[in-house]
Structure 1
Amino acid sequence: MLFAGGPPTVGPGTVVGRPKTEDIRSHTDLAKGTASHYKAAVKHYASLAERAVAASHVIDIFACSLDQVGMMEMKVCVEKTGGLMVLADTFSQSVFKESLLRVFKRLPADIPKDGGHLQMGFAASLEVLTSREFKVAGAIGPCSSLRKVAPNVAETAIGEGGTNAWSMGGIDPAVTIAVYFEVTNAANNPLPPSKRRFIQFITQYQHASGRFRLRTTTYSGAWHNDSVDMGPVARSFDQEAACVLMTRIAVQRTESDEEGTVHDVLRWVDRSLIKLSSKFGSYRKDDPTSFAFPQEFVLYPQFMFHLRRSQFLQLFNSSPDESSYYRTILIRENVTNSLVMIQPSLLSYSFSAPPQPVMLDATSIRPDCILLLDTFFHVVVFHGETVAAWRAAGYQNSEEHVNFKNLLDSPQLDAQMTMTSRFPVPRFIVCDQHKSQARFLMAKLNPSITHHTGEVGMGQAMLTDDVSLRVFMEHLMKLAVQTP
């Protein structure tokens, strides 16, 4: 475990020099290639990661500093060994204290065999076996290639490719690996209608009790000829899982020097979405008004819209350390948590209705409502203008306004429940409409009302030039119906 309060300034892992006149690298320095220590530091920490993987050691980093500490260079040690990463402002902050305690969380004592043991495994590995018609292209997540060459390894590499086995180092119940495949059956050799595909995941690890465990999971499914009928493929489409899988590829491409800039990755995301829409949407050519998505695809463009605006692909207002931190957490979490990072959840609390989910949109802001935003990294309780004024007047302290007191307490209690099992512990923010910390909510909302459109009906106008989801969908439909 590394507890870092500042960046390395000496030795082969130097992130910034000792002279006070030297600034630590920024996104601009990295883009221009003027970060003098970057490449040497990454090479050094990559070699440390290889040594740790070979020895089955896990590296955790707890960085608590108001400035950067070199997370971007050191994250390879965490990702390759299956370690944990926590980024906080100070060691006295609850984000650090509670997260450190949860690392050593134990299972309830009444659970047979596992009771009382740590919720983690060690020296874990994953091997994937497939039937002949498709091969393993690679894996993206907290893992390292074991360089095992097998007949079912594809030539195309995605993430940690060129193998069908990976070392995962330390694992816990939240660790998720994304595995990608490539269909290699020749087009001129159609499969029989009764042909089925098989895939097997073999996971091994040492339990906290000292015992070694092996888990084998085998799946089977039918093949479908997409050139004949796309119906079975469309009906089996999992838009939530597809969004997370695409996000991991996009994040991996942003961190690969060979894939180009973030702008190039955004263009790739757009092209992939247009191609998917053109293939599975129903429409009349060159008529955007006729476009319609099957039920299994309706949320996918919305996920991609929020992904494009997220901190995973946008560098503005994030340091290199913060960007690396967000991306490292993303590629180890499950689908549910990853979707919360991409498209945060928003709940509304008011006198007129029980707590209910509302759209992540500027129109969801009401003066007499309280909003609870969960972005995974932040949990925000946002008070509308009127509610904030009532609270400032002290109405919640009088007995006749007990309902108002309950309204104020309800999102606070729900926020605490959300944070109870989360790792790393999110930052908890309480703010009021039109105040500075309201930016944590405003930055995540769909800008359906801006200073250009003016305030239309309910909601709050946002000072931004970003396009809204409606405009994004209009452009998508226009391009999709034009694609041959």
Structure 2
Amino acid sequence: MQGYPQQQQQYCGYDAAASQAQQQQQQQYAYSPAVGNGDYGSYYAPANAGASQAAVASGVGVGVGVGGYGGQYMQQGQQQAYQYEQQQYASGMSKTADVVASPLAPQVESPTAYAYAGPAAALAPGHDTPSAAPNATDDNGLRWTWSTYPNTYRDTKHDPVSVASITLPEMIVPLACMYTPLRPLETSHFVLGDPAARGQQCPNCGAFWNKHCHREEGKFWVCLSCLRRNPMPPNYSPEHPALHHDTVEYIIPSAAPATAGGAVDASARHTYPTFVFIIDACLPVEELEALKQNILRCLNWLPPQSLVGLISFGARTSVWELGTSTLTRCYSLRGERQYEPAELSAMLQVTDAMPVQGRFLAPLEDCEFVLTTLIEELQCDDSVTPGNKRPLRTTGTAVSVAVRLLELLYEKPAAKAAKAAAASSAPAVKAGRLLLFTGGPCTRGPGTVVGIEKEKMMRFHRDIIDGDTPYYADAFNMYKGLQQRLSNVQASLDVFAESFDQTGILEMREAVNQTGGTFICGDMFNHKMFTTSFQRYFDRFDPRVRALEAQGGAAAGAAFSVRSAFGVKFGVHTSVETLVSGVLGPCLVDEQANKTSPHRAASPIQIGVGGTTNWCVSTLDEAVTYTFLFDTATMSKKGGGDAAGAKDPRSIEGRHRFLQFVVRFTTPHGESRVRVTSVVLHVAPSLPSIEPQYFVQHEAFDQTCAATVLARMVVSILEKHPSKWDDTKRWLDTLLVRFVRRYGNFRPGIPESLRLHPCLSLFPSFLFNLRRSEYFMVLNISPDETAFKRHWLMRDPVDNCVLMIQPALYSYDIEAPQATPVPLDSCSLRPDNILLMDAYFNIHIMWGTTIFAWIQAKYQDDPEYLYFAQLLENVENDAIGLLSTRYPYPRFSRTDANGSEARHIKTRMNPTVTHHSGGIGAAAATAAGDQSDVIYTDEASIMKFMESLKQAVVSLGKDGNGAGNNSIGVR
């Protein structure tokens, strides 16, 4: 018989000592009931608990002991509060069980909040007060690892610390920012007009005027990037939005080409994007029918003027003509080999008299009936495949043909090109998306990833590491070649892969990631995961521009934010001696911009896509977030940051560094825009050397943003060195040891003396969870799943990325029926509570053994136990709230603590209590006969990780600086 959940020192079989230890762990970091706003929702605002620790060594360095993992294991600012409509608990999940003790009514207790009293900040002479890291994305779409610019020196004798050849800077964690280019803006931030034509852009370096630049009314303004004096723009107004806001968006008017009679020729220049549907015809019948219904439904979400195309593939690739209503034509290609572009043009009979537009690519409003009919009549091509073989799929050929159609669309014959140039200088807007729907791997022709014999397994991580992949290199190179061709026509490849097996998205990743495309992966096309994700895919980039439709089709120049962009080109302008190391995110180097303008601000230390300050990407949506990394080391040790222009008013008295992000793009309705974000950062004093405690005292470090940046750096390293998993983990360990050694307070040789300031205390636990996440896994995860999760980590905002690294865990029980953030630890597993885990790609509900027994006894259906039904309803509502907004739609499951699905939660938890444990927790669980809180794993717990970290930090080498003692030593 199950026990009652009592408000005592005992929790259903746990003795008083174990319960007290759990309470002490949970109280180390208590959350206040206040709610704050984050990037995309409301979150519990954390308050650091506990009194200040004793001063270390000289009495300086009040902070948090590193040994207290319970406090450091909670996500700061990431526990979300949700208010959603009530929904009744589904009683159908309950099963008949033996009679058990009923749940007791809760007793309400008042919550207690704790606050940390930090040391007083001592300002350096001649410097303004730096602002603390906001730990949130600001209105400009920016979030920094350091809120103060760390001017440092470059040590030319310092060697790289890993195979990745990334030298750790003096700050250990580099200065970086997460920037969301299409973050929505208010109406007051929009400006109609070309800034270059109005004298608002520097003709020397291309930077734009802004509110931070020095200007003399009516005379000149000084560019903060190159210090050039430029004449004040004509019709200058002090009320210009650029002089009042950090971020402004210029809407550049464009004239449509006109005919000889002066009328606008609408057919001469289409301004809407092109969509090509590439459909796998080898799907099972029920999945193919569900896919066709979803595609037909999405036609209502496309602009009527947009061009559409249809390609189906199976053993052959079929290209359908949509411009003829009397007789539908289909061009069938065998797809056994790679076709040259000219060869494809000849096969499709594309000539000057028979162009692509109007045949294979036609306006939706003109061919909707034909397209709908073709999709409805599409038949399954997998009826004759033997059971021991895979279907023949020519996926690579189908994608190659789609790319060729877009190339032919923008290739003008010589005679027409001269006529078009004389009529108008405005070319056709290049914008397109290829939507690939596939239910299995390519087995024929270019892009093949596996043979047709099912006895031949798909490649795994170990095969890639050992080089035992006969198809991988050719398929990867084929899609990498398509990547540049897609970029030239400003189109992206979006892949919807629904299969229980791998489909080959690992080989496609370059063509998808670097063009701004999207991966949506699941199990079946007739599952809710695909249907919901497919709808939110269109909601995310909004091709019909609903803001424009809400204005009744207002004239060009209307001030509103768009959710997506095409043909994006972006760059960075910086002050002197501020260098850009690179960008992490979906982009390529803008070769055309590099030929016309120098990239003097490019750092010799390249991270991600580096060596330039100009990048491009085919498509972008409102949530895509880039990581810009900066090299803050001065080129010489003379002067540093304070002396460089300290008396020059044009450099803002030498106490700030200037950075400007410029994004040029085309909206889905063909409008050209330029978004300019200009910011300045306070410069930390750097004479004679930078003081680490300066950043600690001013709380200038954003540990959540830093963890996301490092996770992206890890992914970038593993993409370049796929077989160097262990070396990358050692590089991460070295970084953490040096970081804690630099910013922590300790006495050499005494691990227990190590203390970290609260603004740093969560950073080790973030990296601990990163080491245990799927991004470092080789076993029990497929290469396709790894590519899928890396894809979203490299494009989503900080708040989403941190959930991928360290899931959020919430507890519900009779005493606290609302969501209560708890440590991601096995100590949070109790028989009398319900856990809700949000791991971004997975959302799971797990009932404790006692709760599950009550559910089986159907106490939730008894009016006497209404509070128990309300408890179950609260958990369901919070889970539904997460599912209602998450993109892509996550996997969702409900289970009990001993169910098979419980592994999804337990594998992400810190294994405090394992089958090897001989402590109080394991003994109590064994005595009670309940093993729900025992995690069967050989991995090291965070306690062992922290002990190894402290030992490595306080150990000093022969030279006294800890060199050579940077290994944590846990797996």
Superposition TM-score, scaled by structure 1 size: 0.95
CA distance in structure 2 between the aligned counterparts of 1:277 and 1:111, rounded to whole angstroms: 53
Range with greater deviation from structure 2 (129-138 or 226-235) = 226-235
Q: Residues 374-425 of structure 1, C-alpha deviation per residue, up to 9 Å, x if partnerless?
A: 0000010111101111111111112112211111111111111112221111
Amino acid at match of 1:336: D
Q: Residues 259-308 of structure 1, C-alpha deviation per residue, up to 9 Å, x if partnerless?
A: 75111111110000001011111111111111011221100000000000
| Map of 1:168 onto structure 2 | 617
Distance 1:116 1:180, change over 3 A: closer
Give 1:192 deviation, angstroms. 2.1
Amino acid at match of 1:366: R
2:641 match: secondary structure:
coil
1:58 match: secondary structure:
strand
Give 1:178 deviation, angstroms. 0.6
2:459 match: secondary structure:
coil
CA distance in structure 2 between the aligned counterparts of 1:433 and 1:228, rounded to whole angstroms: 51
Given candidates 388, 391, 416, the residue that maps to 2:880 is: 416
Q: Does 1:190 align with 2:640?
A: yes
| Map of 1:300 onto structure 2 | 763
Unpaired stretches in structure 1, ≥5 consecutive residues: none
Unpaired stretches in structure 2, ≥5 consecutive residues: 1-434, 644-652, 926-931, 962-971
| Map of 2:469 onto structure 1 | 35
CA distance in structure 1 between the aligned counterparts of 2:676 and 2:741, rounded to whole angstroms: 38
Q: Is the 8 A contact 1:104 1:118 kept in 2?
A: no
| Map of 1:341 onto structure 2 | 804
| Map of 2:61 onto structure 1 | none
| Map of 1:329 onto structure 2 | 792
How does 1:423-442 map onto structure 2 within 5 Å? 423-442=887-906
Give 1:184 deviation, angstroms. 4.2
Range with greater deviation from structure 2 (375-384 or 193-202) = 193-202
Distance 1:115 1:2, change over 3 A: farther
CA distance in structure 2 between the aligned counterparts of 1:192 and 1:369, rounded to whole angstroms: 56
How does 1:381-400 map onto structure 2 within 5 Å? 381-400=845-864
CA distance in structure 1 between the aligned counterparts of 2:824 and 2:831, rounded to whole angstroms: 16
Q: Is the 8 A contact 1:57 1:169 kept in 2?
A: yes
| Map of 1:469 onto structure 2 | 942
CA distance in structure 1 between the aligned counterparts of 2:800 and 2:889, rounded to whole angstroms: 13
1:269 match: secondary structure:
helix
Q: Does 1:281 align with 2:744?
A: yes
Amino acid at match of 1:29: D
| Map of 1:238 onto structure 2 | 702
Q: Does 1:141 align with 2:585?
A: yes
CA distance in structure 2 between the aligned counterparts of 1:239 and 1:217, rounded to whole angstroms: 24
Q: Is the 8 A contact 1:117 1:208 kept in 2?
A: no
CA distance in structure 1 between the aligned counterparts of 2:684 and 2:467, rounded to whole angstroms: 47
Q: Does 1:355 align with 2:816?
A: no
Q: Residues 218-255 of structure 1, C-alpha deviation per residue, up to 9 Å, x if partnerless?
A: 11112224524223333311111110111001011112
**Structure of higher CA gyration radius:** 2
Give 1:115 deviation, angstroms. 10
Give 1:451 deviation, angstroms. 1.1
Distance 1:321 1:228, change over 3 A: closer
Distance 1:111 1:304, change over 3 A: farther
CA distance in structure 2 between the aligned counterparts of 1:370 and 1:99, rounded to whole angstroms: 28
CA distance in structure 2 between the aligned counterparts of 1:108 and 1:50, rounded to whole angstroms: 31
CA distance in structure 1 between the aligned counterparts of 2:774 and 2:679, rounded to whole angstroms: 35
Q: Is the 8 A contact 1:126 1:166 kept in 2?
A: yes
Q: Does 1:76 align with 2:517?
A: no
1:296 match: secondary structure:
coil
Q: Is the 8 A contact 2:693 2:743 kept in 1?
A: no
Q: Is the 8 A contact 1:104 1:119 kept in 2?
A: no
2:445 match: secondary structure:
coil
Q: Does 1:206 align with 2:666?
A: yes
Give 1:125 deviation, angstroms. 2.1
Q: Is the 8 A contact 1:315 1:323 kept in 2?
A: no
Range with greater deviation from structure 2 (224-233 or 60-69) = 224-233
Give 1:118 deviation, angstroms. 7.2
Distance 1:41 1:292, change over 3 A: same
CA distance in structure 1 between the aligned counterparts of 2:576 and 2:474, rounded to whole angstroms: 42
1:289 match: secondary structure:
strand
CA distance in structure 2 between the aligned counterparts of 1:278 and 1:143, rounded to whole angstroms: 35
Q: Does 1:94 align with 2:543?
A: no
Among all aligned residue pairs of Structure 1 and Structure 2, give the percentage whose two residues are the same amino acid. Answer: 34
1:400 match: secondary structure:
helix
CA distance in structure 2 between the aligned counterparts of 1:116 and 1:217, rounded to whole angstroms: 17
Given candidates 435, 453, 458, the residue that maps to 2:917 is: 453
Distance 1:118 1:100, change over 3 A: farther
CA distance in structure 2 between the aligned counterparts of 1:225 and 1:116, rounded to whole angstroms: 41
| Map of 2:576 onto structure 1 | 132
Amino acid at match of 1:63: A
Give 1:21 deviation, angstroms. 3.4
Give 1:59 deviation, angstroms. 1.0
CA distance in structure 2 between the aligned counterparts of 1:179 and 1:291, rounded to whole angstroms: 32
CA distance in structure 1 between the aligned counterparts of 2:748 and 2:806, rounded to whole angstroms: 31
Amino acid at match of 1:197: R
1:372 match: secondary structure:
strand
Give 1:443 deviation, angstroms. 0.7
State the number of aligned residues: 483
Range with greater deviation from structure 2 (465-474 or 375-384) = 465-474
The alignment yields a C-alpha RMSD, in angstroms, of 2.0
Higher relative contact order (CA 8 A, sep 6+): 2
1:312 match: secondary structure:
helix
| Map of 2:772 onto structure 1 | 309
Give 1:122 deviation, angstroms. 1.6
CA distance in structure 2 between the aligned counterparts of 1:429 and 1:99, rounded to whole angstroms: 17
Q: Is the 8 A contact 2:464 2:723 kept in 1?
A: no
CA distance in structure 2 between the aligned counterparts of 1:244 and 1:355, rounded to whole angstroms: 25
CA distance in structure 1 between the aligned counterparts of 2:857 and 2:578, rounded to whole angstroms: 66
1:388 match: secondary structure:
helix
Q: Is the 8 A contact 2:461 2:779 kept in 1?
A: no
Q: Does 1:229 align with 2:678?
A: no
1:440 match: secondary structure:
helix
Amino acid at match of 1:32: D
Bigger proportion of residues as helix: 1
Q: Is the 8 A contact 1:58 1:82 kept in 2?
A: yes
2:691 match: secondary structure:
coil
Q: Is the 8 A contact 2:581 2:603 kept in 1?
A: yes
Q: Is the 8 A contact 2:465 2:723 kept in 1?
A: no
Give 1:189 deviation, angstroms. 3.4
